[in-house]
Amino acid sequence: MRFSNGIWFQDRFYALSVEGTLAVVEEDVNSDLLRITKFGKQRAVPDSDLAATRRFRECLVESEGKVVLVFLGSARSMETVDHVEVFRLELKELAWVRARSLGGAALFLGSNTCVSVEGKKLLECKGNCVYFAASGNGGGWGVYDVESGVISSCERDFGGRTDLFQGNTTTLLCKLQRRAD
């Protein structure tokens, strides 16, 4: 089984296979080896139209005490994002449920980093949104409003500082936090 994404959460490692199967990986205390102890009830795949194009990537992130899965995709190209789906993991059932809200959280998804932050703690960022690095359309950041389902360019001027949108999500968050302090 090949894995595409994973997250450490509540003393377990949750790994997503390239086929969308969720596996719970734990340490075997008798042998100090890692082993898969459970599998999710259904595969995590985006809607059929997006899955058919195979132009999507997934991001696992812990947010407000839950495991969240975000699919970013496009019908046209891997360079742009025109489709976003958000799910949360029901731990008892190991089942993905479509998320209609992220609460006050803002998710920041870079090419190799996924971070959840309380939206109200970041200046000029809105909670219940997914911010993602947008390599196409001139770069910068895109934003998906979970409640409305609208994807747009993140055009906030942040005091005229366009450098906020260069680099990875960690760089962005550090700069936003300094502006808020």
Residue 163, SS3?
Answer: helix
CA-based radius of gyration for the chain = 17
- 3-25 residue pLDDT tens: 888 889 998 899 988 888 899 99
How, if at all, do strands 22-28 and 129-133 pair? unpaired
- 22-42 residue pLDDT tens: 999 988 888 878 889 999 988
Mean of the per-residue pLDDT values for the chain? 77
- 96-108 residue pLDDT tens: 999 999 988 988 8
Find the domain containing 99 and state its range.
3-180
Phi and psi angles of residue 111, each rounded to the nearest 5 degrees, phi first? -70, -25
- 44-82 residue pLDDT tens: 766 656 555 567 778 889 999 999 999 888 767 666 777
The domain tally of the chain equals 1
Lowest mean per-residue pLDDT among 33-42, 119-128, 145-154 = 119-128
**What predicted TM-score, i.e. pTM, was given to this entire model?**
0.78
> Which phi-psi region, left, alpha or beta, contains residue 92 (left: φ > 0; alpha: ψ -120 to 50)?
alpha
Once rounded to an integer, what is the mean pLDDT over residues 140-150? 86
Q: Bigger pLDDT: 114 or 124? A: 114
Once rounded to an integer, what is the mean pLDDT over residues 134-159? 72
